[in-house]
Amino acid sequence: MIQFLDLQKINAQYAEQLKTAASRVIDSGWYLLGKEVEDFEKKLANYIGAEPSQTIAVGNGLDALRLILRGYIELGEMQEGDEVIVPANTYIASIIAISDNRLTPVLVEPNIETYNIDIELIEKKITEKTKAILLVHLYGQVVWSEKLEHLAKTYNLKIIEDNAQAIGAMWNGIRTGNLGDAAGFSFYPAKNLGALGDSGTIITKNYELAKTIRALGNYGSERKNHNAFRGVNSRMDEIQAAFLSVKLDYVDAETAILQNIAEYYCNHITNDKIVLPSFDGRFDYAQRPVSVAERSRSHVWHVFVIRCKQRDKLQAHLTKHNIQTQIHYPIPPHKQACYATTPLAKLQLPITEQIHHEVLSLPISPVMTMDEVQTVVDAVNSF
The binding site for ligand PLP (CB under 6 A) comprises 60-62, 90-91, 93-94, 136, 162, 164-165, 186, 188, 198, 200
Q: How far is the CB of 64 from ligand PLP (least distance, A)?
A: 8
Nearer to ligand PLP among residue 186 and residue 212 (C-beta): 186
Nearer to ligand PLP among residue 61 and residue 332 (C-beta): 61
Question: How many CA within 13 A on the CB side of residue 169?
Answer: 32
Q: How far is the CB of 273 from ligand PLP (least distance, A)?
A: 27
Nearer to ligand PLP among residue 135 and residue 314 (C-beta): 135
Q: How far is the CB of 136 from ligand PLP (least distance, A)?
A: 5
- What size, in residues, is the chain? 383
Q: How far is the CB of 195 from ligand PLP (least distance, A)?
A: 9
Phi, psi of 227 (to 5 degrees): -110, 105
Q: How far is the CB of 286 from ligand PLP (least distance, A)?
A: 29
- CA distances in angstroms from 136 to 51, 104, 379, listed in the order given: 22, 17, 31
Task: Report d(CA 237, CA 31) in Å as an integer.
Answer: 6
Neighbours of 226 (CB within 10 A): 9
Nearer to ligand PLP among residue 47 and residue 91 (C-beta): 91
Whether the link from the prior residue into 329 is cis, omega within 30° of 0, is yes
- Judging by DSSP bridges, how do beta strands 200-204 and 55-58 pair with one another? antiparallel
Nearer to ligand PLP among residue 44 and residue 380 (C-beta): 44
Task: Report d(CA 344, CA 104) in Å as an integer.
Answer: 10
Residue nearest to ligand PLP (CB): 61
Q: Are 314 and 360 contacting, i.e. CB atoms less than 8 angstroms apart?
A: yes
Nearer to ligand PLP among residue 64 and residue 380 (C-beta): 64
Q: How far is the CB of 157 from ligand PLP (least distance, A)?
A: 20
